[in-house]
Amino acid sequence: MVKVGIIGGSGLEDPNILLDPVTVAVDTPYGKPSDDVVEGTINGVECVLLARHGRKHDIMPGNVNFRANLWALYSRGVDVIIASTACGSLQENVEPGHLLFPDSVFDRTTGRQSTFFDGSYDQAPGVCHIQAHPTYNEKLRQVLISTAERCQLVHHRTGFGVCIEGPRFSTKAESMVFKSWGASLVNMTMMPECILAKELGIPYATTALVTDYDCWKEEDHVTASSVMKVFAANVEKAKTLFVEAVGEIGKIDWSAEILKLKTEARESVMISPD
Ligand code: ADE
């Protein structure tokens, strides 16, 4: 039976969706994750929940220990990971309150630790040149899309996000440029989570929860309080999506998908023959 990891982003720190929750402290070779994980079941499927910014939301995007977070879920035996992430919209038709299932991401972060293979852990030797395309697991992405459809949640099936370093929001010049690139979203945590999941060979897909129009759209420009306000109004959508999606994920045999990704991850590591 599949075990599902869930990474809750801003506004979904402690979503209370698990039956019989048990809190587990985890340490990893890459340090401590953002918080203890919470384990329990959803629709009879075992799940491990982790709050990306900590359950008190006191870790800013650039300080999230993404490696420890992914390793923590890996060490608790999760087979697939679904995540949520609050995002600004860069396109008129992607409205606050909508969901979007990204198919790629443009990395504008600076200096985040984005590989397990940097020589800091002797059990992860070599250099890992992981393929960044496809960024998200398509089979898992399709489960999220079909679940959103079934639950009648307004959503967009494709689009890419620009992941900025933060914690500040974009300038208008930046926002206009990102928009002109054709990006649908701007956000601070899409990277390097998806890449680290690929290095571990774990199918991973994320759900963007659109909270604002960033600042390209003069009249609506983003503030921290506007993000949290829209999020609070829409958090039930994310919970519904996750609960229903976990039920669907539990019905699927993931073994071939996992084998494919684990093989790809293993073959991406270059180790000197001597
Ligand atoms: N998260 C939510 N809204 C955002 C925005 N406009 N820019 C970056 N990250 C965000």
Q: What is the mean pLDDT of residues 128-134?
A: 97
User: Residue 214: what pLDDT?
Assistant: 96
Give distance in angstroms: CA of 61 to centre of ligand 1: 11
pLDDT tens by residue, 167-179:
999 999 999 999 9
From 84, 188, 221, the mutation candidate for ligand 1 (largest count of ligand atoms within 8 A of CB) is: 188
Q: Are the beta carbons of 166 and 62 closer than 8 angstroms?
A: yes
* Cα–Cα distance, 197 to 101 (Å, whole number): 17
Q: Which residue is closest in CA terms to ligand 1's atom 3?
A: 88
Please list the active-site residues. 212, 214
Who's near 181: CB < 8 A, 6+ residues apart?
A: 106, 162
Give distance in angstroms: CA of 159 to centre of ligand 1: 16
Who's near 232: CB < 8 A, 6+ residues apart?
A: 11
Q: Which residue is closest in CA terms to ligand 1's atom 4?
A: 88
Give distance in angstroms: CA of 87 to centre of ligand 1: 5
Q: Which residues line ligand 1 (CB under 6 A)?
A: 86-88, 164, 169-170, 186-188, 211-212, 214, 222, 227
Q: What is the mean pLDDT of residues 118-138?
A: 96
Q: What is the mean pLDDT of residues 46-50?
A: 97
User: Residue 274: what pLDDT?
Assistant: 63
Phi, psi of 84 (to 5 degrees): -125, 155
Asked if the bond preceding 33 is cis, omega within 30° of 0, the reply is no
For residue 37, the SS3 value is: strand
Confidence class for position 158, pLDDT limits 50, 70, 90: very high
Which atom of ligand 1 is nearest to 188's Cα?
A: 9
- Which residue is associated with the tokens 């070779």? 29
Give distance in angstroms: CA of 231 to centre of ligand 1: 11
Cβ burial of 242 (10 Å; 0-12, 13-18, 19+) is buried
Question: CA of 195: how far to CAs of 198, 203, 261, in Å?
Answer: 5, 11, 12
Who's near 157: CB < 8 A, 6+ residues apart?
A: 101, 145
Amino acid (one-letter) located at 198: K
Cβ burial of 66 (10 Å; 0-12, 13-18, 19+) is buried
Task: Compute the half-sphere exposure of residue 117: CA atoms within 13 Å on the CB side of its CA.
Answer: 18
User: Residue 230: what pLDDT?
Assistant: 85
Give distance in angstroms: CA of 97 to centre of ligand 1: 13
Return the closest-CA partner of residue 139 out of 44, 51, 260.
260
Which atom of ligand 1 is nearest to 214's Cα?
A: 6
Task: Compute the half-sphere exposure of residue 268: CA atoms within 13 Å on the CB side of its CA.
Answer: 22
User: Residue 3: what pLDDT?
Assistant: 98
Residues comprising the chain, all counted: 274
- Give me the residues paired with residue 85 across strands: 208
Q: Are the beta carbons of 45 and 1 closer than 8 angstroms?
A: yes
Q: Are the beta carbons of 43 and 20 closer than 8 angstroms?
A: no
From 162, 170, 214, 217, the mutation candidate for ligand 1 (largest count of ligand atoms within 8 A of CB) is: 214
ipTM value > 0.95:
yes
Cβ burial of 93 (10 Å; 0-12, 13-18, 19+) is exposed
